[in-house]
């Protein structure tokens, strides 16, 4: 059996522990210079809750800030109350949810653009927010950087906010690349639109395939560690070329009983209500020979 005691943590569920062991042994044999990490951001690298209180996503950081009028905040809240239950409804298919998620994100972005948000105020908003990376984030980011393992953060959030969160945490290292929704500012630094193709929770596959250049550069790294917290995150590695092994780790933060089975069917390792990066870190240490 693997010498990774953390896989016996009470939060860990695996449908097929033998398969997890086989994948990890195969990755160790190939060496850490063949590994890349692809991770979601909100509620995967950041906490879902702290002391019983929900932690903000990139969109929430902005929604809860003083850059936004109370009228705008109310509109965004109404959108959340309408669309979030659809997003996590296990009785609806992804196909059914797709157009509704596009609708949600598009409406939310239109409302934000109306607010004439200033670029130079974003850092302060992040500083004042309750954004929290998961416990163990320092080890995760620093260890990947030390071993020159690329980390792709793939997020349906707001790239400008996401980058500011990791910059302020001191972990925006050169091996980190971000695919996300970026703000487009006019020459006076005021938000006028969002750039490029919309990335939402269920079209990460398209996002992955649009960014073939990134995956082309990494084709000598066919072994993937994927971290996510929704079933939509499972497609983040679809752009990886000539993939050999993929180990999928899923954080199940909410509605555990409804969703546990579908997560176990899709992720190799499911972490139930685990606010730390202890398990991914233990796996990384194992893959880089610190076992």
Query: What is the C-alpha to C-alpha distance for residues 17 and 90, in angstroms, rounded to an integer?
Result: 25
* Residue 40 appears among annotated catalytic residues: yes
Only one residue has tokens 């180990």, namely 247
Contact indicator for 32, 288 with CB cutoff of 8 Å = yes
Q: For 185, phi and psi rounded to 5 degrees?
A: -105, 150
- Can you read off the two tokens belonging to residue 216? 């082309």
Contact indicator for 45, 271 with CB cutoff of 8 Å = no
Q: First and final CA of the chain: distance in angstroms?
A: 13
Active-site residue identified among 16, 22, 40, 238: 40
Active-site residue identified among 16, 42, 238, 274: 42
- Can you read off the two tokens belonging to residue 254? 């909410």
Contact indicator for 60, 53 with CB cutoff of 8 Å = no
Q: What angle do CA 181, 186, 188 make, to 5 degrees?
A: 130
Angstrom CA distances, 232 to 84, 243, 266, stand at 14, 19, 10
* Residue 42 appears among annotated catalytic residues: yes
Cα torsion 98, 86, 90, 21 to 10°: value is 70
Q: Which residues contact 47 (CB under 8 A, 6 or more apart)?
A: 55, 132, 133, 134, 135, 275
Residue 99 burial class via C-beta count within 10 angstroms: exposed 0-12, middle 13-18, buried 19 and up: exposed
Any idea which residues carry the catalytic annotation?
40, 42
């Amino acid at each position: 059996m693997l010498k990774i005691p953390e896989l016996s943590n009470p939060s860990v569920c695996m449908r097929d522990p033998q398969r997890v062991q086989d994948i990890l042994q195969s990755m160790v044999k190939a060496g850490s210079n063949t590994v890349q990490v692809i991770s979601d951001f909100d509620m995967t690298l950041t906490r879902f809750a702290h002391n019983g209180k929900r932690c903000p996503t990139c969109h929430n950081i902005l929604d809860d800030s003083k850059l936004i009028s109370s009228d705008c905040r109310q509109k965004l809240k109404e959108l959340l109350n309408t669309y979030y239950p659809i997003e996590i409804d296990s009785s609806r298919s992804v196909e059914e949810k797709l157009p509704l998620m596009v609708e949600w994100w598009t409406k939310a972005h239109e409302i934000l653009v109306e607010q004439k948000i200033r670029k130079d105020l974003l850092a302060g908003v992040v500083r004042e927010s309750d954004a929290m990376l998961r416990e163990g984030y320092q080890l995760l980011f620093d260890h990947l950087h030390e071993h020159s393992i690329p980390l792709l953060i793939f997020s349906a959030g707001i790239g400008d906010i996401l980058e500011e969160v990791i910059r302020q945490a001191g972990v925006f290292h050169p091996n980190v690349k971000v695919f996300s929704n970026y703000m487009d500012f006019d020459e006076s630094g005021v938000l006028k639109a969002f750039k490029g193709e919309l990335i939402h929770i269920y079209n990460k596959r398209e996002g992955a395939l649009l960014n073939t250049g990134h995956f082309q550069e990494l084709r000598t790294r066919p072994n993937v560690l994927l971290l996510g917290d929704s079933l939509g995150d499972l497609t983040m590695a679809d752009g990886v070329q000539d993939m050999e092994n993929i180990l999928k780790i899923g954080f199940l933060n909410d509605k555990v009983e409804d969703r546990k089975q579908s997560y176990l069917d899709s992720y190799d390792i499911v972490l139930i209500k685990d606010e730390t990066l202890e398990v991914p870190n233990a796996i990384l240490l194992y893959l880089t020979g610190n076992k």
